[in-house]
Structure 1
């Protein structure tokens, strides 16, 4: 759309903020019939699925938060209990949302190893999961797999804030905030990683782009890794990439009404998610990592991380940032208000 052309990256020509247009398919009697069935049955299916997801969510709250609070004096048991019911309930939410099977793949970016010899990452407490961010579904998947600590990034500071699962879900598609409130506790990523490791909290999720995209490119990373050194070998980074395949409505979510988007997602007969992870030990700052740019002191740890993520995801890097996304959302919402008048 030309009215949003100012948010098209000049170097790549990619517009990473607008909801992507479904791919064109050859029209046939079978496809037309399938579309008619989807239009009729889809909304009914969506309502039923939302009701079931509501029940599962209630079970999740009771089991993880209510019973979990009672187990607080027994910390190891609380961790096991929370991890178990998070995995069960949240995977069931994904299943009801149409993600019946989630494909996972371990990728090696070392030419000498190849994908067949890639060792799956062993994610531990305190590890920093660095991933592209395309949807609230990313959040639910990570919570179901790792029961991690989610973080929020701000445009005007290189520190992050711990947020809850629900806050992370709601943050998808919202305009990035400039700074935390005076009541918020903020940390550098390295400080929080050490706290998570010491307290056995779980891995740390850092969406370094700071906001969601439509999955077609990567935004510039926020400078949240500036406290890491390139020669540091205890960074414990884990690189992960999310990709959604779709024929009708994309599961990616960048702007708009989140509940309506989720309803339409549940109205689809099935959805597909592919999760790629970088092989163990190949991320920057890993004990046995060897950076191709070791001879140069120019790249920062953030540069190395986005380069690794680009290699895993096969997405091109843009010169757009979370500040551009904030301006885009402001403009998008102003146009929506005008169209309703």
Structure 2
């Protein structure tokens, strides 16, 4: 009660200073943007250094990253830490999403292209590192703002590959969770084949181990939530993050990948490896199943729309909107009424 608040204040101040330093160097680095590869190298370097310092200040001193195999009978030697950092340009990284710390980890390790998913159009757009941090825990945006250009996921990844950009990170759940289950994926992979050999797909799972305070950030409807959570994260002496990825041999972008293997069950039964019917998004269903087996999280039927509906109810119950708007919402509002609530939160 005495030491942690002091620790939180000091570390929060240091995080702010490092973040400001990163913004300053990113601004200075724009001078190098016409030079292409030199700018990418510069941006990669400052991201790796400054973001890693921020992760350390948040109590994440060591990140265990291991590549695992899910096939029975394979050598246990596949479960070894990943060491080399090969060129990942043009890769598609698919991951669960539980916190702004996820965004920090990917920025540190890969300096990737972050994306935002729009469930109503099944398209994505590129967002900056800072925008990806803001979106973590925010009210989910279901459709793109007017005038914003979006693309189907496969087309977007191929476009980034042609530009020579870094790997593309996508969070197919569309919103943050509590790191104890996986929401039903937004069907953004519906235009992809199975296996999808035109791009390289990497499936990652981020897990947080904690007892009292969770470094996950499920929702923050205003900045007070964000600042309070960041302060408590800084006040922790240490936080634990572990990352697991599926062996490239078992990736659904491998030409020899079998959908039967991707949907195979695990000994843990219904909670983890249920064989699910392949709907319109065959690749998405396989990736969700593989991620469930990788994390040992339950796979839920709830979607990003369900979270938005719950937040609408939460906002009304907690006087988050004006009394004039309460009456129509209480009477099972139609799409127009719900849209007004969401617009206010966005």
Structure 2-normalised TM-score?
0.82
Indicate yes or no: 2:161 matched with 1:197: yes
Matches within 5 A, 1:52-131: 52-63=14-25, 65-117=26-78, 120=82, 122=86, 124-131=88-95
Deviations 1:138-197 (A, max 9, x none): 011011100011111122111011111111111111121121012211011111111111
Which of 235, 258, 265 is matched with 1:267 structurally? 235
Preserved CA contact (<8 Å) 1:105 1:276: yes
Q: Which residue of 1 aligns with 2:309?
A: 327
Matches within 5 A, 1:257-336: 257-292=225-260, 298=278, 300-336=282-318
**Residue ranges of structure 1 left out of the alignment (5+ in a row):** 1-38
SS in 2 for 1:104: strand
Which of 180, 192, 196 is matched with 2:144 structurally? 180
User: Superposition RMSD on alpha carbons, in Å?
Assistant: 2.2
Which of 199, 216, 222 is matched with 1:252 structurally? 216
Preserved CA contact (<8 Å) 1:235 1:286: no
Give distance in 2, aligned partners of 1:332 and 1:232: 40
Preserved CA contact (<8 Å) 1:283 1:308: no
Q: Which residue of 2 aligns with 1:34?
A: none
Deviations 1:216-266 (A, max 9, x none): 111000011111011432331110111111122100111231111111110
SS in 1 for 2:213: coil
Q: Which residue of 2 aligns with 1:33?
A: none
Structure 1-normalised TM-score?
0.83
Bigger mean CA offset, 90-99 vs 171-180: 171-180
Aligned length: 300
Q: Which residue of 2 aligns with 1:144?
A: 108
1:113: Cα distance to partner? Answer: 2.0
| 165 and 294 in structure 1: CA distance in 2 versus 1, 3 angstrom threshold | closer
| 332 and 298 in structure 1: CA distance in 2 versus 1, 3 angstrom threshold | closer
| 294 and 89 in structure 1: CA distance in 2 versus 1, 3 angstrom threshold | closer
**Residue ranges of structure 2 left out of the alignment (5+ in a row):** 264-275, 324-346
1:117: Cα distance to partner? Answer: 2.7
